[in-house]
Structure 1
Amino acid sequence: MRVSGLEPHDEITVGSSATARDGKVWHGRATFIADDHGLVDLSTTRPVSGTYNTVDGMGLFWSMRPPTGDPNSDYFSLRSPESSPSYAVKITVTAHGRQLASRTLTREGKAKGVSSRTLTLAHDKVVGEMFLPRPGTPRHPAVLVFGGSEGGVSMKWEAALLASHGYPTLALGYFGEPGLPATLRNVPLEYFATAARLLAAQPSADSSHVIAMGYSRGSEPALLLAEDYPRLIHGVVVYSPSSNVNQGFGGGNAWTKDGRPIPQGSIPLDHLSGPLLAIAGADDALWPSPTYVKAITEELHAAQDRHPYQALIYPGAGHGVGTFPFLAEGTVDPSLGGNRVGNAVAKEQGWPKVLALLAGAR
């Protein structure tokens, strides 16, 4: 964004505002000094004050803050992309106590023509939301995406965005939904394989390139799928991952296969049939994901894996290192680690790496 037509060296404030799902209006602001030509270019100019303090053309988007409440427990919640595929951000320019200009921008998370379908156990044998690219899009790699300990179908926006880029994507729930385990305990790995086969069968999907994407606890089944089903899963993306199988909630086992518990401990990675991207925040306070990322790459190196793999560890970022960029969040919850700037940079730099992996998988 650029603001022109100002007086040279004039001081202006550029503000942003957007309404979250709960009705709260979040605000960002940044004060700038115009250059000799009366121009402020937000992508090259550092604000003198505001909700962010670095040169960042998208700072007004991710730095928005909630109006009230505990910012450590608040985040800019979106309505579901099936019903509300976009949201508005109002930008205002003020100086000397009066508004000079305003413009309303639209952030689109689900492109026109992208379709979605709710999957049910009764009809599909899995629970989730399927997002498919607009008709006529050439076949692309498909992405099976799932979250972690939050349960439910938690990564719909990631799925909608990926489908908007042409990649058929299934946002999968694996516990905490009717008919599924109530908690993360004794979840069959075969359930994920069923979802992957359903996704691969879509006409817009390239069935030879199905990618598993898991966040936090979801990294475990993503890696296990790639290891145990190399003919079905052809690449992995994991955020804030573990390199181990951890115990289920309340003790016991998290995952099963062939009706037997999958033992806790290190996940072997000697049968992968595609690329791997592991992303972690250096300041993850929830668990040692940077250590796990290094263990994953060391395991692949020891296995002499012939496919490309990459580990990205972002300084200043915590457990909230992903996924897509520029979405506002409150001050980072101390239990997750990291800081707002670190997380924002990680998302801005990490998301293109995910898209590059998918583009290279064709």
Structure 2
Amino acid sequence: MMKRKWKIISAVVGALVVVGGGGFAYMLTRAPSPAKIADAGATGQRINANGIFANYYPAAGAAPHPAILLLGGSEGGLGKDMQAAALLLQAQGFSTLQLAYHNAPGKPAKLKNIPLEDFTRGLDWLKKQPGVDASRLGIVGYSKGAEAGLLVAARTPGIRAAVLGMPSSVVWDGMSGENYLLGSFSSSWSANGKPLPHLAYKGQPDARGLMPVFENGLKDLDKNPAAIIPVENFKGKLMLVCGEAEKLWPSCPMTDQIVARAAKAGGPPTVVLRYKDAGHGVMGAPFTDDAARANWSQMGGSKEGNAAARADSWPKIVAFLKTELGVAAPAQ
């Protein structure tokens, strides 16, 4: 997420200096490079129909199984990091849909005004799959996928558990050059064809990266309270995971905002996992190679801190999901 944003900013600045107004307009509006699309693998299925582009990992063994909607972040497509999580969830008995919602075939190239209907369509598809217990649905997501996940959980009945890493308490501007440099042009998300209320990016990056852009945006929250995600509308159980050494956006302060609003409004019950020496790589499948540790450490925390956070949090995430989704809902 961080690398992609810096590429956008660098490209726009370069266009201003070198090629003038026409090139600048092109750089603002051009599509990003295609995201990586992980193969579904031996235990998965590629789904590309009826507006859904995803990898599906059905649980083996005796049915019925709980189901998970799995959402990556601003990397787009179907990344390998979230695929590793999907495979681990599948092995633990969760039928898991790793859903692409932008920068993938049939999806918007940029992460702006993404329809929330894409996510509910994925949930509806999951409910209908053989061996899935439609009464045991959960959402797992990180970064922008956590932002979307909280929105969907707050708007969609029947979701019993949500695990959100590096989360956002608010809806942000869309991710595009025009939003970063010229003002608030679009939301990250839409519903019924209309952009959701959103906070604008404010200020400029500094030595810490993009952090001040988000911190300054949050200072205007009292002027735009409609951008707050109404966590109190979620009727399930919530787990939040954040790293205090985050360099990309203030996920731990936004975690605190979610928890405070939930407590003040009477729910949902929330479990928080915080890690001092972890950053934007705090949540996900435990690392299996040093390259991944190094890449994620660029967004905060040490290689060792991020690895330790994932190793500690992942079993707790699985245990939380098993507790909340392990028993069929009582008949109505």
Q: One fold, TM greater than 0.5?
A: yes
What residue number does 2:221 align with? none
Selected match of 1:266 from 228, 231, 248: 228
Contact 1:235 1:272 survives alignment (8 Å):
no
Structure having the higher strand fraction is 1
Percentage of pairs with the same residue: 35
Say whether residues 1:236 and 2:162 are aligned partners.
yes
201-210 or 326-335, larger mean C-alpha shift: 326-335
Residue identity matched to 1:266: I
What residue number does 2:289 align with? 328
What residue number does 1:119 align with? 47
Give the whole-Å Cα distance in 2 for the aligned partners of 1:139 and 1:358: 15
1:182 Cα deviation after fit? 0.7
1:81 Cα deviation after fit? 5.8
Structure having the higher helix fraction is 2
Residue identity matched to 1:320: G
Contact 1:137 1:166 survives alignment (8 Å):
no
Give the whole-Å Cα distance in 2 for the aligned partners of 1:277 and 1:328: 26
1:245 is paired with a residue of what secondary structure? coil
Selected match of 2:309 from 332, 340, 346: 346
What residue number does 2:187 align with? 253
1:124 Cα deviation after fit? 3.5
Give the whole-Å Cα distance in 2 for the aligned partners of 1:211 and 1:260: 26
Give the whole-Å Cα distance in 2 for the aligned partners of 1:328 and 1:196: 32
What residue number does 2:17 align with? none
2:133 is paired with a residue of what secondary structure? strand
Residues 19-50 of structure 1: CA distance to partner in whole angstroms, max 9, x if unpaired? xxxxxxxxxxxxxxxxxxxxxxxxxxxxxxxx
Give the whole-Å Cα distance in 1 for the aligned partners of 2:323 and 2:192: 33
1:242 is paired with a residue of what secondary structure? coil
Residue identity matched to 2:173: Q
Residues paired across the two proteins, number? 250
Say whether residues 1:359 and 2:331 are aligned partners.
no
Contact 2:279 2:297 survives alignment (8 Å):
no
Say whether residues 1:221 and 2:180 are aligned partners.
no
Residue identity matched to 2:70: V
Give the whole-Å Cα distance in 2 for the aligned partners of 1:204 and 1:323: 26
Say whether residues 1:293 and 2:255 are aligned partners.
yes
Give the whole-Å Cα distance in 1 for the aligned partners of 2:75 and 2:254: 20
1:335 Cα deviation after fit? 4.5
**Structure 2 gap ranges (5+):** 1-35, 180-185, 199-226, 327-332
Contact 2:117 2:191 survives alignment (8 Å):
yes
1:186 Cα deviation after fit? 1.2
Residues 120-170 of structure 1: CA distance to partner in whole angstroms, max 9, x if unpaired? 1xx242100010012x32323211001111000122221121111110000
Q: Relative to 1, partners in 2 of residues 1:298 and 1:245: Cα closer, same or farther, differing over 3 Å?
A: same
1:204 Cα deviation after fit? 2.1
1:311 Cα deviation after fit? 1.0
1:325 is paired with a residue of what secondary structure? coil
- How big is the alpha-carbon RMSD for the aligned residues of Structure 1 and Structure 2? 1.9
Give the whole-Å Cα distance in 1 for the aligned partners of 2:298 and 2:304: 17
**Structure 1 gap ranges (5+):** 1-76, 84-114
Residues 96-141 of structure 1: CA distance to partner in whole angstroms, max 9, x if unpaired? xxxxxxxxxxxxxxxxxxx421111xx242100010012x323232
Contact 2:296 2:303 survives alignment (8 Å):
no
2:106 is paired with a residue of what secondary structure? coil
Give the whole-Å Cα distance in 1 for the aligned partners of 2:270 and 2:306: 22
What residue number does 1:303 align with? 265
In the TM superposition, structure 1's runs of 4+ consecutive aligned residues that sit over 4 Å from their partners are: 332-335
What residue number does 1:96 align with? none
Give the whole-Å Cα distance in 2 for the aligned partners of 1:282 and 1:189: 29
TM-score, structure 2 as length reference: 0.71
Residue identity matched to 1:180: K
Contact 2:237 2:269 survives alignment (8 Å):
yes
TM-score, structure 1 as length reference: 0.66
1:151 is paired with a residue of what secondary structure? coil
Say whether residues 1:198 and 2:125 are aligned partners.
yes
Contact 2:172 2:188 survives alignment (8 Å):
yes
Residue identity matched to 1:129: N
Contact 2:51 2:106 survives alignment (8 Å):
no
Contact 1:322 1:350 survives alignment (8 Å):
yes
1:80 Cα deviation after fit? 4.4
